[in-house]
Amino acid sequence: RMNIMFEGYSKAIAIEGQSALSLARTMILPAAQKTQRDVAESVAAAKALGLVVERQSERLRELSTRIESLVGAIDELARVFEHAESHEGTAQAHAQLYRDQVVPAMRRLREHADVLETLVDDAYWPLPKYREVLFLQ
């Protein structure tokens, strides 16, 4: 019975990990990059006109840094997930591997996505934002 529970846990985390990777790669990252492109074009156009854009440039740097962090978190989750999927140990050891490596990597990915949610243009963000879930019906 215990092995069945360990296997069930591992499968549940595997599904969540695959879902997190898919959402980050196909929805969150492209949305963030579109916003980054728009901000970069806006800053470049303002600079071309001789306008002062230091704060806008700082926003662009922050956005770029956050996107790089997201890409790093995606790569990390993919790496530990692949390692966990190929693990050939007991059901308990497999479950512990998911708990100790995959879940923390998913948490870090989520942290970066949560920050980007506050920076990305609403028109590009493909998922419901927290404020929409909490305050809109």
Residuewise pLDDT in 10s, the chain (137 residues): 999 999 999 999 999 999 999 999 999 999 999 999 999 999 999 999 999 999 999 999 999 999 999 999 999 999 999 999 998 889 999 999 999 999 999 999 999 999 999 999 999 999 988 878 888 76
Say if residues 8 and 95 touch (Cβ distance below 8 Å).
Answer: no
What pLDDT shows up at residue 132?
81
Q: Which two tokens stand for residue 64?
A: 């770029």
Q: Which two tokens stand for residue 99?
A: 């708990």
Say if residues 43 and 82 touch (Cβ distance below 8 Å).
Answer: no
Say if residues 94 and 87 touch (Cβ distance below 8 Å).
Answer: yes
As a whole number of angstroms, the longest Cα–Cα distance in the chain is: 71
Ramachandran angles phi, psi of 49, nearest 5°:
-85, 0
Amino acid code (one letter) for 10: S
**pTM to 2 decimals?**
0.90
Q: Is 51 helix (H, G, I), strand (E, B) or coil?
A: coil
What's the length of the chain? 137
